[in-house]
A = this chain, B = another copy of it.
Amino acid sequence: MTLPHAKVETPVFMPVGTVASVKAVPQHLLEELGARIILGNTYHLYLRPGHELIRRMGGLHRFMSWNRAILTDSGGFQVFSLNELRKVTEDGVQFRSHLDGGAHFFSPEHSMDVQIALGSDIAMAFDECTEYPADYGRARTSLDLTLRWAERSKRHFEAHKHERPWNQVTDHRAQGSDISPDAMPSLFGIVQGGMYKDLRRESAERLVEMDFPGYAIGGLAVGEPREVTREMIARTLEWLPKDKPRYVMGVGYPDEIEEYAKMGVDMMDCVLPTRAGRHGLVFARDADGNVVRMNIKRKEYAEDAGPIDASCGCMVCARYSRAYLRHLFVAGEPLGLTLNSLHNLHFYLATMERVRLELETAS
């Protein structure tokens, strides 16, 4: 399928551009890698540089010079994962900035306002990401709150979605944008329910009743065993309409994204390719096509003149040796972060592109 408002064919992998940058990678190289849509973190952008500043600058696309699609998360995940002193009420979440300890408050309405100010193409409903492990009662309570927040998110989003930043500026987009400036953004609902199938089912069915243009499966990859992740995804996919994008948030390793895409997941995002790259972890395939994780700083690569992956078509493997990448990492050279991240992003994007073509051929 094609995502709303964007020339993005699914299944698609979305690199994470946390705070208006896919870390260490210039935008034109991200384009060369073939990234069609990236994710912006609402929590981080709200704190720095601030959504109002980005709105005044014409929106996130224009601010960071990225003309392709942008999905924003709701801020919920970071509010819950980066804040030990958060206070959840029916109205929303009181939390402290991880940067300076300042007090902030996020409600479903505020999350929508922030995402609209950013100019997101696909926004996410504000949800409580249920911690793991959570007992049944806790998962039930959390799910119910998330469903009420989903309704409030939708109501507020529909009433204000036309207030996109470029409605206030004229030269709002560079030529060649993938997205029509007249297109309205979409809001996706998020399935929660912990690791309980009946709660996941209830969450999915009640969201489908609300009729979102797309659905995310949230609250996974939070520490549960991988078989549980897979089972939760497999079951939840059954309860979501196949003609709407289905998005699994925050996963995963390259073999996972391939597996989930083949199960029917349309969209995924993960910080792993860039975060792992910055820690010297790069992905390759062995002769059988299985994913191999290489720690580039290992001594065995010190004089290895071969590329990370001889079968890889990326600009890093075409030019640089393992020995050089190891040296950059060991010497703390910033170029190492960029090259490792470029390779890993290519690895993810090429994997997803291959799966997409395989699925297209099979159908």
Binds B, one of A178-186, A333-341, A345-353: A333-341
A53 touches B302 (CB 8 A): yes
A48-77 CB contact bits vs B (8 Å, 1 = yes)?
A: 110001001110000111000000000000
Residues in B with CB closer than 8 Å to A53 are 302-303, 323
In whole angstroms, how far apart are the Cα atoms of A63 and B305 in the complex?
A: 8
Residues in B with CB closer than 8 Å to A23 are 333-335
How many subunits of this chain does the assembly comprise?
2
Q: Which of B25, B324, B334 contacts A337 (CB 8 A)?
A: B334
Residues in B with CB closer than 8 Å to A65 are 319-321, 324
Residues in B with CB closer than 8 Å to A63 are 321, 323-324, 327
In whole angstroms, how far apart are the Cα atoms of A296 and B134 in the complex?
A: 46
Interface check A315, CB cutoff 8 A? yes
Q: Which of B19, B28, B320 contacts A333 (CB 8 A)?
A: B19
In whole angstroms, how far apart are the Cα atoms of A333 and B49 in the complex?
A: 12
The distance from the CB of A306 to the nearest CB of chain B, in whole angstroms, is: 12
In whole angstroms, how far apart are the Cα atoms of A48 and B336 in the complex?
A: 15
Residues in B with CB closer than 8 Å to A20 are 324, 327-328, 331, 333
**Contacts A65-B319, A65-B320 given: A24-B335 contact, CB under 8 Å?**
yes
- Interface contacts beyond A27-B319, A56-B303: sample of 8 additional A-B pairs, CB < 8 Å, sorted by A: A19-B331, A21-B328, A21-B333, A23-B333, A24-B338, A28-B315, A49-B330, A53-B303
